[in-house]
A and B are shown apart, each in its own frame.
Chain A
């Protein structure tokens, strides 16, 4: 009998429910709840619930996209470093935008966006490709076939392009927050190398339109 419980391929029993993180739901008094919510609460009191992962938090400042991005930036499991780099990037974006804001004349002040979260989300949205290419082999030859992408895949591609662009194509001595903040601001304004990459992908897909019928899904 092995003394250690094998965890890697173990799976929760399907009856286990996801943990509820939203604080406001618990703070509502009983009368305000609707019928369905009361039923859900009773179910949760009786059924077993999965353990909450350490990256899930109930704080108001928690953002799932930002945590996904930090996980992708992480190397060798160093989450502390990745999180501090992310915080420094957001601070750098805020500083650059605030400098522009305070120096701009009154009428331009409203057009300048200062919130780093808004900039991050908008930049990611601008970088997401709409259509991707996949390799399909027919009769010995592999063709690049244009294929619609799922939401998760689009987000993943945008984040991956951002990080690889910052890691490879910049000067060796610049710090990651600086590089990332520059790339994010460029993507927010729809300019810069990542947007160009997205447009190249779209052009390739448009050029290979003829093979679109190879797709069977």
Chain B
């Protein structure tokens, strides 16, 4: 689902209204994500305070919306424009891309609260598509060969250290299944 010219126009027009409140929107969206989907707290275990409106949450909310602002400016080619951010999330932060959708939903909830009249279904769909495209651009580098010399037909996976041992074990198992499936591609198999 690529963005049409009308989608981009709607996103840019809405951003001009949103920009002055972007920091507050980011902080509120992040607060909600942590409160409503507590599994996302795992990525912020190093913060002293994860409560809604705390200093680290406000600071990171501002960082997130800075990234969204950047994406609005690069809306014509999000994949190329967000390559560095994708590498950061893929190799350093190691965020499961499923969480991008969770944060996107909470950004939309905050926009509905702050702009109840302007957040029409037409604006909603354009922003939902934009945040979806942004999320896909962020996930671009997740299964990309790195600058290390590696055979391109192998998948390498090392779970982040902040995840519990049991979760890393199951993630390694899932990765192993993925590699087995890749190796046996084209071979019929029954469950």
A and B bound? no
Residues of A at the B interface (CB closer than 8 Å) are none
Residues of B at the A interface (CB closer than 8 Å) are none
